[in-house]
């Protein structure tokens, strides 16, 4: 009975409280990866759902890089975004800057790099 009461009180204290922030859980190419050839698109997966319309991803690369396309939702996965890399994608270091608004209203941002060896 005492445990039940304690659980109930804890529950009231916690209810509606634990709102997570969207953290980058994984990326394709992986964070810090050195790859032989740039993919056609980047895919960023977050720890919770994101509002695609309010997310921004920019990619900078070596001279000659064609730039990044618009942010698109990844089909069937509300936690992922896809960003097309417009060719050409010459060898060199690429920096990805992301800023996302999670479905729980929180904004988070970050940067990661990958390298195309060629």
Partner 1 sequence: MSQGLDLAIVAVRFASFGLAIAALGAAAFDTYAPGGPRAAAAVRAMSALLALSVLGYLTLLGREAADVSWPSPNDVAAIATSTRFGQALVVVLLAATVQAAMGMSPGFRWVRLALAGAAIAPFAFVGHGADAAGLAGGVLLGLLAAHLLAIGVWLGALPWLLLAVMRRQPDRLALLERFGLVGGVCVLVVLGTGVGVLVFMMIAAGGNLGPGYVATLLAKLAFVFGLLCLAAINRFWLTPLLRRHPERARQALTRSIVTEQLVAVAALGFVALLGQLDPTM
* Closer Cβ to partner 1, 89 or 108, answer by number: 108
CA distance 101 to 53: 9
* Closer Cβ to partner 1, 14 or 36, answer by number: 14
* Closer Cβ to partner 1, 8 or 40, answer by number: 8
Residues of this chain that bind partner 1 (CB under 8 A): 7-21, 48-49, 51, 53-54, 78, 99, 101-109
- Under DSSP, the state recorded for 19 is P
Least gap, CB of 87 to partner 1 (angstroms):
29
CA distance 84 to 67: 9
Residue 7 vs residues 4, 13, 41, 63, 74: alpha-carbon distances, Å: 5, 10, 47, 59, 39
CA distance 9 to 15: 10
Least gap, CB of 32 to partner 1 (angstroms):
21
Least gap, CB of 45 to partner 1 (angstroms):
14
């Amino acid at each position: 009975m005492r445990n039940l009461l304690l659980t109930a009180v804890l529950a009231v204290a916690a209810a509606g409280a634990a709102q997570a922030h969207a953290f980058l859980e994984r990326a394709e190419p992986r964070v810090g990866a050195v790859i032989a050839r740039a993919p056609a698109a980047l895919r960023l997966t977050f720890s919770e759902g994101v509002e695609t319309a309010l997310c921004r991803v920019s990619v900078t690369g070596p001279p000659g890089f064609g730039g990044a396309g618009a942010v698109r939702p990844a089909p069937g996965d509300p936690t992922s975004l896809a960003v097309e890399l417009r060719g050409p994608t010459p060898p060199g270091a690429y920096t990805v800057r992301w800023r996302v608004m999670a479905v729980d209203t929180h904004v988070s941002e970050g940067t990661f790099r990958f390298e195309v060896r060629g």
